[in-house]
Amino acid sequence: MDLLRRPTVLPLRKKPKMMDASFSFCNYEIKFKEIVLFLLERKMGASRRNFLMNLARKRGFQIESELRDSVTHIVAENNSGPEVLEWLQSKQQSKKMEFEILDISWFTECMGAGFPVEIQSRHQLMVQQDCSASFNTSPSSSCVQVSQYACQRRTPLQDINQIFTDAFEILAENCEFLGNKELCKSFLRASAVLKSLRFPIATMKDLDGLPLLGNEMKTIIEEILEDGKCARVLDVINGERYKSFKLFTSIFGVGLKTSEKWFRMGFRTLEEIKNNPEFKFTKMQKYGFLHYEDITSYISKSEALEIYDFVRDIILKLVPDAVVTLTGGFRRGKERGHDVDIIITCPRKEKEKSILHNTITILKNQGLILFYDINESTFVETKLPSKKVDALDHFQKCFIIFKLVKEGVGATNIKDNEMESKNWKAVRVDFVITPYKQYAYALLGWTGSRQFERDLRRYATNEKKMMLDNHGLFDKTKNVFLDAYTEEDIFEHLGLEYLEPWDRNA
């Protein structure tokens, strides 16, 4: 019996504990020395205050547990300006007014941005603020409404509930390795809800009214609030199966089925697999092993843009009116990633079909391709969008290991025997070629995030009686495909407010 399996429903603990203000794994660097914060405990509560103080320290802010002369910013929650002044008078601080008195919304925006944001009039506590001014920034506000669909929530890159979302995503990944797809989806949906919040979860009361958080998720959150960690998560990450699958699937060209096979054969390290003479690897896997260190390391946004600009210049010389777009996490604002996704199309019908092979030929001639695998289009124009939210698309694609030369991607005729004095880096690059009519749908799908796309398709099916995939949108009530030439067109067809790519990090 698999020791990693757990019951799907766990009882809630009955005795919540307060988080200690000193709860921390390390000392944090002070990044913003000109600002000293003080959080007013009045109406906030000790547990939530302690949690927020620790969060601020992690972000590099100075924060005092007592009101001192060094304090520059007082932050209050659910207090009016006069109420804060009354409290200050009770502490004999009414004469010292050299600090800003601010609503918690300013603090949460700072935590989300990772730096002190500009103070605006809506942040200043001179009068009681309207409920609308703090929408989705305070857990105690009756205005907070969170949709069950990620496509109806703004989710920026900064995740102020990462201690919980990391736990959910580890458990989701483990469920995927175990083949438990439904529980995997449940953990990912719960994680996505917490990522969209503009306030950090500090008490179990903060979860009131939030969707997709069942007893199992709440038990995990409660344990982390109490202990700063979750025993179940620790069991998973220390488990032999999880560690093996995590390692095996990091190899380019290795999926869950191959990982399962290797694990059942008793292999636990890459060396054991590589040194086994009986193994016959695919060409993709061979190059995955050969360039493992590079491929599994992060690439920066500047490196991604360097590759994108270089490829785009080649394509525009071939087809001057081509449209070349960097997608994936970099389009959503990420500063680093594991691969580079580029979508290519052309307004002239059928003209996009010649782009991929010609581009690959040029890159090969310049010695900048270490490996490539072209998948030709299998799209059928009359085919309805897939009912499966994770269905793959049928575009022409090329999966590449690109040779990014460190002193500049434009260096040509790179020799293949440079391993001893290596001046380049192997980078995963995906080209996706789309007909112009399907470009907007492909761009939306390849931009991600994965959970955003899942919920967008789920929303289309459940709420609009439509079918959406990377090729198009079909209205079942009218029995018609809906044309779209921009992402905004697709959101409008679905009756959704348009969300910029940087708000789709679910």
Q: How far apart, in whole angstroms, are the C-alpha atoms of residue 329 and residue 339?
A: 9
Q: From the CB of residue 324, how many other CB atoms can be counted at a distance below 10 Å? A: 21
Q: Give every CB contact of residue 36 below 8 A, 6+ residues apart in sequence.
A: 62, 63, 64, 68, 70, 71, 72, 73
Q: How far apart, in whole angstroms, are the C-alpha atoms of residue 185 and residue 450?
A: 11
Relative to beta strand 473-475, strand 466-468 is: antiparallel
Exposed, middle or buried, 124 (CB in 10 Å: 0-12/13-18/19+)?
A: middle
Q: How far apart, in whole angstroms, are the C-alpha atoms of residue 342 and residue 399?
A: 11
CA distances from 219 to 20, 214, 215 (A): 19, 9, 6
Q: From the CB of residue 408, how many other CB atoms can be counted at a distance below 10 Å? A: 9
Question: Is 430 one of the catalytic residues?
Answer: yes
The Cβ-side half-sphere exposure at 421, using a 13 Å CA radius, reads 2
Cβ distance 314 to 359 under 8 Å? Answer: yes
Instruction: From the candidates 103, 206, 339, 393, give the one annotated as an active-site residue.
Output: 339
Q: How far apart, in whole angstroms, are the C-alpha atoms of residue 398 and residue 369?
A: 11
Instruction: From the candidates 206, 341, 393, 455, give the one annotated as an active-site residue.
Output: 341
Question: Is 341 among the annotated ligand-binding positions?
Answer: yes
- Token couple for 364: 């090969």
Question: Is 309 one of the catalytic residues?
Answer: no
Question: Is 489 one of the catalytic residues?
Answer: no
Q: Which amino acid is at 376?
A: E
Secondary element (H or E) of residue 164: helix 162-178
| Angle of helix 215-227 versus helix 162-178 axis, rounded to 10 | 130
CA distances from 456 to 206, 233, 415, 503 (A): 26, 29, 46, 13
Residue burial 340-366, b: 16+ Cβ < 10 Å; e: rest: bbbbbbbeeeebbeebbeebbeebeeb
Q: Give every CB contact of residue 44 below 8 A, 6+ residues apart in sequence.
A: 52, 76, 77, 78, 104
Cβ distance 496 to 152 under 8 Å? Answer: yes
Cβ distance 196 to 148 under 8 Å? Answer: no
Question: Is 339 among the annotated ligand-binding positions?
Answer: yes
| Residues paired with 468 in a beta bridge | 473
Q: Give every CB contact of residue 362 below 8 A, 6+ residues apart in sequence.
A: 314
Q: How far apart, in whole angstroms, are the C-alpha atoms of residue 483 and residue 390?
A: 22
CA distances from 247 to 68, 177, 262, 269, 364 (A): 50, 12, 11, 8, 30
CA distances from 185 to 156, 182, 254, 457 (A): 21, 5, 22, 14
Question: Is 206 among the annotated ligand-binding positions?
Answer: no
Instruction: From the candidates 166, 235, 373, 430, give the one annotated as an active-site residue.
Output: 430
Residues designated as active site = 339, 341, 430
Binding-site residues sit at: 339, 341, 430
Binding-site residues for Mg(2+) sit at: 339, 341, 430
